[in-house]
Structure 1
Amino acid sequence: MLSRTLLCVAVASGSTCALADTVWLKNGDRLTGTITVYDGGKLMLTTDYGGAIPIDMTKVKTLESNQQLLVKQGNDHTDHNTVSKALQPADEGKVILANGTAPQTIDLASIQQIMKPRPLIQDFTWKGNVDAAMDFKRAENDTDDYNVAFKTSARHGLWRHTGDGEYNREKEDGSTNTNNWNAEYALDRFFTDHWFWQGRFNYKHDNVEDLARQRQIGTGPGYQFWDDELGAFSLGSLINNTSYKYSDGTSDSFYSVSMKWDYNRYLIGKTFELFTTGELGRPLSNVADYSLDAEVGVRYKVTDWASLNVKYEKDLITGTQDGNDLDSSRVTAGFGVTW
């Protein structure tokens, strides 16, 4: 009985090792884990003993992996993408792309990117982040500044759900200068790998500005340029039913058209993330000239889940009939959680 137990443990251990990816270094070291992405000269290896480890590809001798990976090669003139069923070790500075009956040996130096291929129809995926920033200043003028923002996206097959929100509050010498929050929910239905149709609801509430409430319900087509391990980029065009309510009790209701964008890009082995989201809109009447709600920023990953972030936000509405224009800018720096 004991012998059978030891045999089962040995087989299970051997299976676990066989499933692990392996990176051989030129100095003779060997690392095991899961290859997640290679970009910007850094190969990310996720391990159970050290988390995500960035490895300089110039220090790598060869690789081995049993998972399906998208390998992008390129030079000054052409790009070539290969979905490899596995990576097999080769001579120093080389790796074998195993594709059934036609394995191919390539130079590691020729590889621009390695990532997991992402098909259109897949199992449920969920990702998101929460960013928080606080600033307390005690001087001639005392200032308390708070900012909390979140964004999350869940996808299963042809459907994608996206929600985001933000809360801002700033007090100076006991007087509140900024106090607002907003929330948005969007539902996308994909028809191809790239084209989708979106329905969206957005609400903003401001306790300080003359424009106290904004509400939008919109729908329209969108295009997903890419969505993979290194980031995503999409554009959408919407026809919206929009309403403004002002602090004096007056209100406007009108239709508008807008263009949305959502972009993020991981750099240097997913250590840094550049991101920007926003919406540029124009009313189909004379209520206002145009509106802009946008943010741009960068995140630095401290651990697998923790990050530092800096972002710039702009909220602008110009040309309102009663002169209650909105022009708000904000720079925040803080701590975030990513999943």
Structure 2
Amino acid sequence: MLSRTLLCTVLASCSLSAVADTVWLKNGDRLTGTIKLYDGGRLLLSTDYGGEISLKWDKIATLETDQNLLVKYDEEKGEHSKGIKAAEQGKVTLVNGSPRTVDMASIEQMMPPKPVLEDWVWTGNVDFSLDHKQAENDVEDYDIDFKTNARHGRWRHNLQGEYNREKKNDQVSTNNYSAQYALDRFLDEHWFWQGQAQYKRDWIEDLAKKRTVGTGPGYQFWDNELGAFSLAALVNRNDYEFVDDEKDHFYSSSVKWDYNRYLLAKQFELFTNGEISKPLESNVDYELESEAGVRYKLTSWASLSLKAEWDKLSGHDGDVNERRYTLGLGVGW
């Protein structure tokens, strides 16, 4: 009985060791964890003892993993590897049919391929920002926005919202909030059909209330460890209420975009998203809602963000043209 217990313990230890990826550094150190991705000259290693560790590629002697990885040599050339075995310094052996040893310097990117989703995957971020504008000295600014999406199989739920308030010399100059929900149904790996609903309330600008519902096709160009990019073309029903009690409802066509890209092993994130719409027949000429910015990761969950927003509406009943520049802290998951 004791021998069986010892045997089970040894086998369990070997199994746990086999699961962990191993990275050997040129200074002789050895690190174990899970390889998340390699991009921009840095390898991101997730560990249970130090969180996510970013390693310089030129400081790594070799590495080993049993993961299926997409190994890219440039924008066009690449291959799927069923695992990587350690080799002499500066080289690795790709396990894919017949093993092949390659120079590490020839590898440009390396990441696990994204599997077909069966369970919930939830990501998002919340930013708490300070606003900077050309204004008087006595200014109070608040800016809170969030964006999150959850994927389950062929369904994806997208939710985002924002609250902005600015006070200058006891006069409120900005006071609004908005919320948006979109549901995507993927038809295959790239094409999806989207339905969306939006609501915005503003107590300062000419456009006091805005309600929009729409639907249309979309295309996901990519969605992996390095980021995502998608476009959607929608037909919408819009209901506007202005401060002078005038109301307008009309149909419009619009194009939405959502893009983000991680750099230097997820140390930086570039992002932009928005929607531009053209009414089919209305007193409104066109409308643009957009934002773009960069996030810098401070810890595995906290980040510093710099963001620019541009909201513009042109119409016969009034114009809205607002630009905001915000700097703040955020929480991501």
* Shared fold, TM over 0.5: yes
1:40-93 per-position Cα deviation (integer Å, ceiling 9, x unaligned): 00000111111111111111111101111111113xxx7322221111101111
What runs of 5+ residues in structure 2 fail to find an aligned partner? Answer: none
Residue 201 of structure 1, aligned match among 194, 197, 204: 197
Normalised by the length of structure 1, the TM-score is: 0.93
Give the equivalent residue in structure 2 for 1:315: 311
Give the equivalent residue in structure 2 for 1:58: 58
- How far 1:120 sits from its partner (Å)? 3.7
Residue 210 of structure 1, aligned match among 184, 188, 206: 206
1:12 and 1:254 map into 2 onto residues whose CA distance is: 65
Is the contact made by 1:39 and 1:112 (CA closer than 8 Å) also made in structure 2?
yes
Residue 83 of structure 1, aligned match among 80, 85, 90: 80
Residue 127 of structure 2, aligned match among 131, 134, 150: 131
- How far 1:7 sits from its partner (Å)? 5.3
1:165-204 per-position Cα deviation (integer Å, ceiling 9, x unaligned): 0000111122211110000000111112111110000111
Secondary structure at the counterpart of residue 79 of structure 1 = coil
What letter matches 2:203 in structure 1? N
What letter matches 2:83 in structure 1? A
1:302 aligns with 2:298: yes
Is the contact made by 1:236 and 1:260 (CA closer than 8 Å) also made in structure 2?
yes
Give the equivalent residue in structure 2 for 1:179: 175
2:2 and 2:325 map into 1 onto residues whose CA distance is: 64
Distance change (3 Å), C-alpha of 1:135 and 1:321: closer
Residue 263 of structure 2, aligned match among 260, 267, 280: 267
What letter matches 1:98 in structure 2? V
Give the equivalent residue in structure 2 for 1:189: 185
Is the contact made by 1:118 and 1:228 (CA closer than 8 Å) also made in structure 2?
yes
1:247 and 1:204 map into 2 onto residues whose CA distance is: 14
Give the equivalent residue in structure 2 for 1:71: 71
Give the equivalent residue in structure 1 for 2:329: 335
**RMSD of equivalent CA atoms:** 1.9
What runs of 5+ residues in structure 1 fail to find an aligned partner? Answer: none
Distance change (3 Å), C-alpha of 1:136 and 1:142: farther
Distance change (3 Å), C-alpha of 1:243 and 1:276: same
What letter matches 2:304 in structure 1? L
Give the equivalent residue in structure 2 for 1:37: 37
Spell out the pairing of 1:286-297 with structure 2 (5 A cutoff).
286-297=282-293
2:146 and 2:136 map into 1 onto residues whose CA distance is: 33
What letter matches 1:153 in structure 2? N
Is the contact made by 1:136 and 1:144 (CA closer than 8 Å) also made in structure 2?
no
Give the equivalent residue in structure 1 for 2:89: 92
1:149 and 1:224 map into 2 onto residues whose CA distance is: 24
- How far 1:2 sits from its partner (Å)? 7.0
1:140 and 1:103 map into 2 onto residues whose CA distance is: 67
1:146 aligns with 2:142: yes
Residue 162 of structure 2, aligned match among 166, 170, 173: 166
Number of residue-to-residue matches in the alignment: 332
- How far 1:4 sits from its partner (Å)? 6.0
Normalised by the length of structure 2, the TM-score is: 0.95
1:237 aligns with 2:233: yes
